[in-house]
Amino acid sequence: MFRIVHTRQISDAVFEMGVEAPRIARKAKAGQFLMVRVAEGGERIPLTFSDWSAEEDWIRFIYMRVGKTTHQLSHLSVGDELADVVGPLGTPTHVEGVGRVAVIGGGVGAAVAYPVARAMSAAGARVTVILGARNAELLVLEDELRALPGVTVNVVTDDGSAGEKGLVTAPLKRLCEAGALDHAFAVGPAIMMKFCAATTAEFGVPTTVSLNPIMVDGTGMCGACRVTIGDQIRFGCVDGPDFDGHLVNWEELMSRQRVYVDDERVADADYQRECSCHK
Amino acid sequence: MSQVDESGLSGQTPAEKPRHKPSRAPRTPMPERAAAVRRSDFEEVAFGYSAEQAQAEANRCLQCKNPTCEQGCPVNIRIKDFIAAIIDGEWTDGVEILKERNALPAVCGRVCPQEEQCEASCVLAKKGEPVAIGRLERFLGDHDLTCDLEHRCTPQIAEPSGKRCAVVGSGPAGLACAGELARLGHSVTVMESLHAPGGVLSYGIPEFRLPKAIVAAEIEMLEVMGVTIECDQVIGRIATVEDLMTEEGYDAVFIGSGAGLPVFLGIPGENLNGVYSANEFLTRVNLMRAYEFPTSDTPVWRGRKVAVVGGGNVAMDAARTALRLGAEEVFLAYRRTAEEMPARKEEVHHAIEEGVEFKMLCSPVEIRGRDGWVTGLVANRMELGEPDESGRRAPVCVMDADFEIECDTVISAVGTRANPLLHDAAPDLELNRRGYIVTDENGATNLPGVFAGGDIVTGAATVILAMGAGKKAAAGMHRWLTDA
Ligand SMILES: Cc1cc2nc3c(=O)[nH]c(=O)nc-3n(C[C@H](O)[C@H](O)[C@H](O)COP(=O)(O)OP(=O)(O)OC[C@H]3O[C@@H](n4cnc5c(N)ncnc54)[C@H](O)[C@@H]3O)c2cc1C
Ligand SMILES: Cc1cc2nc3c(=O)[nH]c(=O)nc-3n(C[C@H](O)[C@H](O)[C@H](O)COP(=O)(O)OP(=O)(O)OC[C@H]3O[C@@H](n4cnc5c(N)ncnc54)[C@H](O)[C@@H]3O)c2cc1C
Ligand code: FES
């Protein structure tokens, strides 16, 4: 069992949780993730490290409440326990020698963008963060990102309720046009990553994307997370989650993410009903 | 508690016993649930012998002077003696004889390919039906599990040696190794990457063939013997083998990480929705209990028409699981014929009884789809040609893309390979061409104090071979720990 040592509500649907996990905290690196199972009978879901402390024995992750498991997480408090926390999984993000880099975080992708931007700036990169969300309400981690040394933050919202109105690809394109980028790193909804990669491809800017295929074990033994990169099948959980954005088969990824939408709706509706019964 | 050393039977000379007169009765059938009933739920297929049935079957044994069956057993269980114990109604003695060589009789009695091992070497097999050794083994294994924990047969544990061993992976190889190390007095911690121990016994082999309560009870026994089991520990990520031996102070390490990486067919359409590796399909259903969805949280796509590719135990398990999830039709596509299938005969028989339709001499070349979802499996028609290096007749194509099986799900059960995380766990470990660990006859690898066994050494094999390898490596580790 893993004891919860920190919880924080960041916005209406976005939360941060800290868990005591000394062995994991000692090995965590930016871009890696955890598999979390809330309780017996629960699903294993992947969540990226947002922060960790080897000295204080904890790890943290930021999650958006989207379905049953993330709802369950949001109902827990400090002192409660999670059944299982497994990690660090996946290959760490390459942060050394990226030069002038744009880190694009869309929606809850900001949770991944934050530790990556922090690690890249610590490794000497010049980081421009492009933070995107549908509206100001859904914008997360802006203050934390602005507090990072030497990191510039651009905010973009679909409705213009904060920062620039539009999509993250607009400031990304301007940076490319200005010849101000050696590298781009994008994380968020697949469709956003697809368009970021399409934008940078035109300018030949190498682009890493952090993919989010559906996972089961997260250790390479099932193949649920397989993605097509160029002409090869790769496993998101061990070969990734970072891949060359210019080689990803996006249509396939987006299609595979939708396999269980009906089931997910059933599970979440059942859970909501159960919760309201107990109130 | 244990009487291993004063085992009643092994000391007895045949002369003291009344002469055994073998019965000429036919092989005692296994009581089973009707195919029509069992194909729609996940409860166990076979009930197991009653005491009367077990004795009736044991009485068929000739008690040969030279029991050839024992040579057919990969771990050389004293089969003749445990059967004699059943004849005499001495269940506890029988269990002890079994457990000398095999720590998990209730498991092996259910899943070993007896028809190729002990039962194939039974003298009775030459003229008719061999003694049902596997069913008798299961009978004793189950008897042991019905006893209270303190009345179960536990081996005598040696004085603490002061040495600490780490076992990576909790499949049959890791469990057998851990049990043996504990018996020899070493302190043992098993580290498992999943949230439940058991390896394939937990995530692969379905409930209806191997109830998880049995696996759990066997594992509980190890804990009683002092073995610590830590789940959620991915070695290679949370610690390397070197970390275990330096920072964490283990004196020796056993790697039994299995051959868990699924192999795909490498044909077009394999990433369509509705295509599963058998590993994913079975893990969702067994480990994550998707058959109880939405009571459990993990979903599985329940196809109406399911095509399973392969001919081994994994393929049979996937096909029969698909039926139980409510499929109307389940096809099994195999490139050779039923004769060459590597699956246990009993599973093939059960699959046919339950209504799995076998499409033999059929080699898939493409998965067709519409809107991202599977609609069919296109296959070549094959025939059997000359024997290949495995001695089996090789399938050769007679008709290209000859036919299409209409289906909404394809499950590929065509094999597994070594998990690549191994390389992160121990970069200097010597591997062979296929990525499996190289060991000597004691299970020792090229790294001092690091041993290995099971599927990660041999490639996908069997439960009993993995257990045998775990036990042998434990003996090697014991020598290494005590000589040093
Ligand atoms: C490598 C990786 C890192 C991730 N990091 C984060 C993160 O830091 N913060 C965050 O909020 N989310 C992250 N996600 C997404 C997160 O795993 C899903 O939001 C979560 O699984 C939803 O579970 P649920 O039961 O609440 O919702 P559900 O109703 O079950 O699912 C909602 C949607 O989430 C996705 N999803 C569901 N189950 C899984 C699964 N087992 N594996 C992957 N995706 C799934 C599907 O697209 C689904 O349609 C990450 C995903 C991956 C693959
Ligand atoms: C569906 C199916 C049906 C089968 N049916 C039969 C049958 O009827 N009869 C038979 O004899 N055999 C059968 N087999 C084969 C048999 O199960 C295997 O040969 C046997 O389980 C191998 O044992 P093992 O201990 O080597 O590996 P496994 O059982 O694979 O166990 C390895 C364990 O190590 C863990 N692990 C892997 N990497 C790490 C890591 N880095 N850190 C920590 N832990 C790790 C895995 O999670 C797993 O739990 C079947 C196999 C399958 C898949
Ligand atoms: S999640 Fe199972 S292999 Fe990646």
Select from A221, A253, A262 the residue whose CB has the most chain B CBs within 10 Å, as the one to mutate to test that interface: A221
Phi and psi torsions of B277, nearest 5°: -80, 150
Question: Tokens in use for B316?
Answer: 């049979």
Please state the rounded mean pLDDT for residues A83-99.
92
Name which residue sits closest to atom 48 of ligand 2, judged by CA.
Answer: B199
Q: What is the pLDDT of residue B1?
A: 38
The pLDDT tens digits for B422-438 are 888 899 999 999 899 99
CB pairs A-B closer than 8 Å: 108
Q: What is the pLDDT of residue A229?
A: 96
Which residues make up the CATH 2.40.30.10 domain(s) of chain A?
Answer: 2-89
For A:134-193, CB contacts with B below 8 A are none
Phi and psi torsions of B15, nearest 5°: -60, -30
Identify the CATH homologous superfamily for domain A2-89: Translation factors (2.40.30.10)
Cα(B437)–Cα(B424) distance, integer angstroms? 14
The per-residue pLDDT of chain A, averaged, comes to: 92
What percentage of chain A exceeds 90 in pLDDT? 72
Given pLDDT bands bounded at 50, 70 and 90, which one contains residue B11? Answer: very low
Q: Which residues of chain B make contact with A224, given a CB cutoff of 8 A?
A: 280
Q: What is the pLDDT of residue A277?
A: 64
Q: Is the pLDDT of residue A56 over 50?
A: yes
Q: What is the pLDDT of residue B424?
A: 84
Q: What is the pLDDT of residue B215?
A: 94
Which residues make up the CATH 3.40.50.80 domain(s) of chain A?
Answer: 100-257
Please state the rounded mean pLDDT for residues B398-411.
88
Please provide the CATH number assigned to the domain covering A100-257.
Answer: 3.40.50.80
Comparing alpha-carbon positions, the chain A residue that sits nearest to B293 is A267
What are the structural domains, with CATH classification, of chain B? 20-151 (1.10.1060.10), 164-260+418-482 (3.50.50.60), 262-416 (3.50.50.60)
Q: Is B326 helix (H, G, I), strand (E, B) or coil?
A: coil
Q: What is the pLDDT of residue B17?
A: 60
The pLDDT tens digits for B102-124 are 888 999 999 999 989 999 999 99
Mutate to test the pocket of ligand 3, among A234, A235, A253, A260 (most ligand atoms within 8 A of CB): A235
Residue A88 preceded by cis peptide, ω within 30: yes
Q: Is the pLDDT of residue B25 over 80?
A: yes
Alpha helices, DSSP H only, in chain A?
22-27, 68-74, 110-122, 142-146, 169-177, 190-203, 250-257, 261-278
Q: Is the pLDDT of residue B10 over 80?
A: no
Given pLDDT bands bounded at 50, 70 and 90, which one contains residue B2? Answer: very low
Q: Is B216 helix (H, G, I), strand (E, B) or coil?
A: helix
Question: Tokens in use for A62?
Answer: 């930021």
Residue B197 burial (CB count, 10 A)? 25
Crossing angle of helices B79-87 and B51-58, in 10° steps, is 120
Q: What is the pLDDT of residue B7?
A: 40
CA-B460 nearest atom, ligand 2: 19
Phi and psi torsions of B405, nearest 5°: -95, 120
Q: Contact at 8 Å (CB) between B273 and B430?
A: no
Residue B238 has its nearest CB partner, among A23, A238, A255, at A23
The pLDDT tens digits for A120-143 are 999 999 999 999 998 888 888 888
Q: What is the pLDDT of residue B402?
A: 77
Query: How far does residue A229's CA lie from ligand 3's centre (Å)?
Result: 16
Name which residue sits closest to atom 2 of ligand 3, judged by CA.
Answer: A222
Residue B174 vs residues B112, B121, B140: alpha-carbon distances, Å: 18, 28, 23
Q: Is the pLDDT of residue B216 over 60?
A: yes
Q: What is the pLDDT of residue B16?
A: 58
Which regions of B169-303 does DSSP assign to beta strands (E)? 187-191, 228-230, 252-255, 261-262, 275-277
Q: Contact at 8 Å (CB) between A217 and A33?
A: no
Residue A267 has its nearest CB partner, among B261, B294, B301, at B294
The per-residue pLDDT of chain B, averaged, comes to: 90
Select from A217, A225, A231, A272 the residue whose CB has the most chain B CBs within 10 Å, as the one to mutate to test that interface: A217
Residue A266 has its nearest CB partner, among B233, B261, B294, at B294
The pLDDT tens digits for B45-62 are 999 999 999 999 999 999
Q: What is the pLDDT of residue A278?
A: 60
Q: Is the pLDDT of residue B67 over 60?
A: yes
Shortest alpha-carbon distance between residue B322 and chain A (Å): 17
Q: What is the pLDDT of residue B3?
A: 41
Is the shortest distance between the CB of A269 and ligand 3 below 6 Å? Answer: no
Q: Is the pLDDT of residue B4 over 50?
A: no
Residue B293 has its nearest CB partner, among A84, A86, A263, at A263
Cβ–Cβ of A85/B237 closer than 8 Å? no
Please state the rounded mean pLDDT for residues B74-97.
93
Is the shortest distance between the CB of A125 and ligand 3 below 6 Å? Answer: no
Cα(B194)–Cα(B190) distance, integer angstroms? 12
Given pLDDT bands bounded at 50, 70 and 90, which one contains residue B18? Answer: low
Comparing B8-17, B154-163, B185-194, B300-309, the range with the smallest average pLDDT is: B8-17
CA-A63 nearest atom, ligand 1: 11
Comparing A259-268, B13-22, B102-111, B299-308, the range with the smallest average pLDDT is: B13-22
Q: Contact at 8 Å (CB) between A226 and A245?
A: no
Given pLDDT bands bounded at 50, 70 and 90, which one contains residue B400? Answer: confident
Q: What is the pLDDT of residue B408?
A: 95
Please state the rounded mean pLDDT for residues B148-173.
90
CA geometry: angle at B89 spanning B87 and B92, to 5°? 120
Q: What is the pLDDT of residue A267?
A: 81
Q: Is the pLDDT of residue B417 over 80?
A: yes
Tell me which ligand sits closest to the C-alpha of residue A225.
3
Residue type, A31: G
Given pLDDT bands bounded at 50, 70 and 90, which one contains residue B153? Answer: confident
Name which residue sits closest to atom 36 of ligand 1, judged by CA.
Answer: A214
